Structure 1
């Protein structure tokens, strides 16, 4: 995507994928301070672990408590979170992003409690203005995430264990898988033995996973007549926002989507 974006913007640059073990993260971030380096993206499990090694955070990154984009300027590193806005813009395109009355807009269920889930909860609480349920294998971690959004002027998210029995599914208009369940694992799902007909007609199941392009979660939701989309839209939008933060060039999101649909992009998606 970023190679295509550099070309579309008429800029000379490279974007390389590097596997960084957790113990090597501080050194890898320090390496971004070199002249000529614009920044980097971070993926699991570095989105929260990177925070102490950055010089500053944008308001969104600070509120979310996770970064996916690091911006280098004159030796200083700024942490940004384009996951949240990328998700929001993807949902807008799918007709699932309108703000409004909590009672008519429906609630949101978020699966997971890591960095991606933090971005999803941020979108649900601050941009969609919906009631939120957080489901995670470890209830304590879900509770920690929920408590970080507690405020006197709005109802905080409700933290639940992995058992979905406590969720009022008839109220859930948007279900977001922000866990890694299903990533490179076509037979895996974060909601085994779940009846998707419990969701109201018109509900959207949004799986942030995009490898494989169709996950088991998506297949089972569609089999029950519910809408389901993978995370490619979010991936393209967050990449566009990161590229703009690094270079100042606002490349159309279509450039990123076209790169994902190219033979090379499809191969990377598995």
Structure 2
């Protein structure tokens, strides 16, 4: 396997990365570089577009001295698993990694999406009872299903490809459902863990959906954060339902990743303040 030496560290400044495809939309550099500054560390965080074919070499390059690790986003959270030396219990159970931690030449995969989501839902005042519906069946959806089931929730998985939803629930539990088969009047939490709506204010994972059938106290949580108000959120709000974007989850998972890399527990407000006014 070839190693990507473009990641090499200059001097002693620690570095971390985001590997994604696409990557240009990412707000992670703003957050992590603000955290470096707050912690008094002269580090640097960069987002890099990494096609699937290039992932093995980029991951191998993380073993170089001075590199703290990397975050992973679409489409790498599941495919990275065999490239790592060890997995945290959460990452192994979820079957997806969003954070790689470099320790003395070893690469450890972790998943901070799951606790990041739960912290964000708590911030948003999400109901803690009643069924939760998760839209999607990729790495982010796996983290959501695992976290919600660990919290004792009944979880329904809705995906445009039913077979993928069924495969996910066979591994992690929950029930795969078509949109028409969900008893929406009972669903108190709707989480969009798909990429539908990312960068496209007209796209939605639930076209022609009657949000008023959700209970009045229901929360619609869209992991997408660009645009700041997705079509899913807008239509939910028009129906009088509470809706939030994924900035809270983004900030919480970033805080946990930064702590794993550096040992510094930076307040989540530092990450959120770095995002102010940049998602519209």
Q: Same fold (TM over 0.5)?
A: yes
2:78 to 36, 48, 54: 48
Partner of 2:130: 106
Alignment of 1:1-270 (within 5 A): 1-96=31-126, 98=128, 105-127=129-151, 129-149=152-172, 156-161=173-178, 164-261=179-276, 266=278, 269-270=279-280
CA distance in 2, matches of 1:38, 1:21: 21
Q: Is contact 1:143-1:159 (8 Å) kept?
A: yes
| Structure 1: segments with no counterpart, 5+ residues | 99-104, 150-155
Give the Cα separation in 2 of the matches to 1:5 and 1:201: 38
DSSP-derived class of the 2:197 partner: coil
SS at match of 1:211: coil
Using structure 2 for the length normalisation, give the TM-score: 0.88
Deviations 1:190-237 (A, max 9, x none): 000000011001100000000000000000000000000000000000
Please state how far the C-alpha of 1:160 moved relative to its aligned partner. 2.0
Residue 124 (structure 1) shift: 1.1
| Aligned counterpart, 1:153 | none
Task: Determine the C-alpha separation between the residues in 1 that align with 2:127 and 2:233.
Answer: 19
CA distance in 2, matches of 1:167, 1:217: 17
Using the alignment, how far apart are the partners of 1:160 and 1:171 within structure 2? 14
Identify the residue that residue 152 of structure 1 maps to in structure 2. none
Superposition deviation, residue 68 in structure 1: 0.4
| More helix, by proportion | 1
**Offset of residue 32 of structure 1:** 0.3
Describe the SS at the equivalent of 1:47: coil
Offset from partner CA, 1:10-54 (integer Å, 9 cap, x none): 111000010001000000000000000000000000000000000
Query: Is the 2:127–2:188 contact (alpha carbons within 8 Å) kept by the matching residues of 1?
Result: no
CA distance in 1, matches of 2:228, 2:159: 23
Count of residue pairs brought into register by the alignment: 250
Deviations 1:67-94 (A, max 9, x none): 0000000000000100110000001112
Cα-Cα RMSD: 0.9
